Amino acid sequence: MRTDMFQQVLEELKGSSADVEASALISTDGLMIASALPAGMDEDRVGAMSAALLSLGDRAVRELARGTLERVLLQGERGYVIMSSSGTEAVLTVLAKQNAKLGLLFLDIKRAAEALSKLI
C-alpha cells in the first residue's frame, strides 16, 4: 500500500498551497509512480519529460560546476513546472499557477520530496 502513501503525500502537497495545480512522483527512468494530475493530462508524457529534464539539469549543473542539482524550474506564460529530486530513485514534478509564491512553494515541495523519498 505504498502507492496510497505516495498519493496521500501528493494530495497533502496540493492541499498545502493554493498555488499547486498538480503533482506527480516519477521514477528516474520516467515511469509514473503516483500522480495528482488533471484529467486528460498524459501521465506517460509527463513522466518521460520529467525524467529527461531532470537528467539534463543534473548533467548541466555538474558540467558547469554548480554543485548538486536541487530543482529544475520552467516558467511559461500560464505557470510553472518545478521538478525536484526525491531521493536517488525518483523526481517530484509540480505544476503551479503563474502568480505562485515561489519561496513558499519551494519549501512545500522540498518537504514533500523528502517525505516521498523516505517511502521509496
pLDDT at 1: 66
CATH of residue 35: 3.30.450.30
Look over the chain and give the mean of its residue pLDDT values, rounded to a whole number.
93
- Whether residue 26 contacts residue 93, with contact meaning beta carbons closer than 8 Å, is answered with yes
pLDDT per residue as tens digits for the range 74-104:
999 999 999 999 988 899 999 999 999 999 9
As for how many domains the chain has, the answer is: 1
Report the pLDDT value the prediction gives residue 99, as an integer from 0 to 100.
96
* Radius of gyration over every alpha carbon of the chain, rounded to an integer in angstroms: 13
Range of the domain at 59: 2-118
Q: Cell triple for residue 34?
A: 503516483
pLDDT in tens, 44-71: 999 999 999 999 999 999 999 999 999 9
Say if CB 79 and CB 98 are below 8 A apart: yes
